[in-house]
Amino acid sequence: MEKAVVYCGTRNTYPEMAAACKSLLRYNKDVHVYFLIEDAKFPDPDLPTDIITVRNVSKQKYIKPDGPNADNAWSWMVLLRGAYAKLFPKLDFILSLDNDTFVEADISELWELPMEDYYYAAVREVELSKWFGKPYYNFGVSFHNLKKQREDKVCDAIIEELNTVKHDYPEQDVYIQKCEPHILELPGDWNIADFTTPFFTRKIRHMTGPGKWDWYPVHPQANQYRRMTWEKALRG
């Protein structure tokens, strides 16, 4: 099974994407990384050459760039998560990571999860779960069963909802709505943040926004790398 991991982002988040990927590759050598980028140029010559960069993804045909959720505070690029089952037709599973996440361990056990009856797996958000009265999951770290999403046509329902109905946290809200109750809850160490299920150890830390990265000294080299790559992006 291919251990596929995907990041997506607009040009102004490319440095964060590259830095996040560096942390992943530091602990995981056998993963295949995909970058979904909005234009034709990714300003980073230092990453491994076997990373697959899907360029000009803004021209994809599934998520409408002028749909009701495209004007959300979040980049419309994150809406592409709703179309992963279509954008990666040959993959059965994929791990989606936010650009403000840092991997701090070997994560290969994710591909050993019993996903037969689940569309995806994620960590629960504490306060929103209380607010909604049922589990609400954070999408910053989400493991997708693309094969089941295609077989059950859940991906079609997700895309249709994203293109027609406005949501506060678009792809996250819609996945929870359309995939319930077939969501596997992950332990909190897979997505350590101030709003997720508390856990004593950590596999993936979620910085919940690039502005918070400097608060954590766990990856000083990544912060330096982010600044260097940002300068390249501005020049490019």
| Tokens encoding 195 | 């709003």
Residue type, 131: W
Q: Which pairs from 229-232 meet CB under 8 Å and 24+ separation?
A: 229/14, 229/15, 229/18, 229/19, 229/43, 229/44, 229/46, 230/15, 232/15, 232/43, 232/44
Q: For residue range 4-61, list pLDDT tens digits in order.
A: 999 998 877 777 788 888 889 989 999 999 999 887 777 665 777 788 988 888 788 9
Residue ranges of the domains in the chain?
4-235
Instruction: Judge whether residue 87 has pLDDT over 60.
Output: yes
The CATH class given to the 4-235 domain equals alpha beta
Pair 144, 84: CB distance under 8 Å: yes
Of how many residues is the chain composed?
Answer: 236
Instruction: Judge whether residue 210 has pLDDT over 80.
Output: no
Instruction: Judge whether residue 221 has pLDDT over 60.
Output: no
Q: For residue range 180-202, list pLDDT tens digits in order.
A: 999 999 999 999 988 998 888 88
Instruction: Judge whether residue 113 has pLDDT over 90.
Output: yes
